[in-house]
Amino acid sequence: MKNRCEWCGNDPLYRDYHDHQWGVPEHDDFKLFEMLCLEGAQAGLSWLTILRKRKSYQEVFSNFDFTSIASYTERDIAALMTHPGIVKNRLKINAVVKNAAVVIDIIEEKGNFSSFLWDYVDGVPLQNKWRSMQEVPSQTELSRRLSRDLKKRGMSFVGPTICYSLMQSVGMVNDHLVNCFRHQEIQRLSQHQNKGNNLQP
């Protein structure tokens, strides 16, 4: 029997997310934007609730193509407010549209959204060694810095706790507990990717 971080419980969807995505270093701009939006949608709710709605989010938000989302109109937003498959919160929906435009601005400045985010950890995932859930922080100084930067650029639903959840989910930090079977796997994957990056000209 595999040891897992206890937060994923016994739900098959939650376990699949824990086993195959959470903590895996992600560098695709669209997928990074998806996770930013989903983490924001989670505010005040459980992550499992958002995972169950994830396919609906992908469908109604153009598979998180920020170039399309940035052009959504008030009519589009009104239609989203009636969709049963997502969280019908106008502030959260507006945030996705507004944040999409900010991502486009960041890409124009930095080249891509991935570089902007990963610069906060110097391009290398932080390897934590927590032994219990009680040790895992809900936010850090890095997530507070990222939050301040994103808010300054005009984003919403990007508080320091949401930003740290993003950092965890996209592998900027490895927060699998040391007794979780994924901790060493993620560590090895991160080291392999880092070596690959170092080989680039």
Residues flagged as binding site: 5, 18, 176, 180
Contact 26, 32 (CB under 8 A): yes
In the block, tokens 């927590």 appear at 130
Task: Find the distance separating the first CA and the last CA of the chain, reported in whole Å.
Answer: 43
Is 141 one of the annotated active-site residues of the chain? no
Task: Give every CB contact of residue 159 below 8 A, 6+ residues apart in sequence.
Answer: 43, 147
d(CA 121, CA 109): 19
Among the options 26, 34, 39, 72, which is catalytic?
A: 39
Among the options 7, 17, 120, 185, which is catalytic?
A: 17
Is 47 one of the annotated active-site residues of the chain? yes
Candidates 26, 116, 33; CA nearest to 70 is 33
Among the options 14, 22, 47, 57, which is catalytic?
A: 47
Name the burial class of residue 187, with classes exposed (0-12), middle (13-18) and buried (19+) by CB atoms within 10 angstroms of its CB.
Answer: middle
Is 72 one of the annotated active-site residues of the chain? no
Task: Give every CB contact of residue 87 below 8 A, 6+ residues apart in sequence.
Answer: 41, 45, 49, 50, 53
Binding-site entries for Zn(2+):
5, 18, 176, 180
Phi, psi of 140 (to 5 degrees): -140, 175
Phi-psi region of 53 (alpha: psi -120 to 50; beta: other; left: phi over 0): alpha
Catalytic (active-site) positions: 17, 39, 47
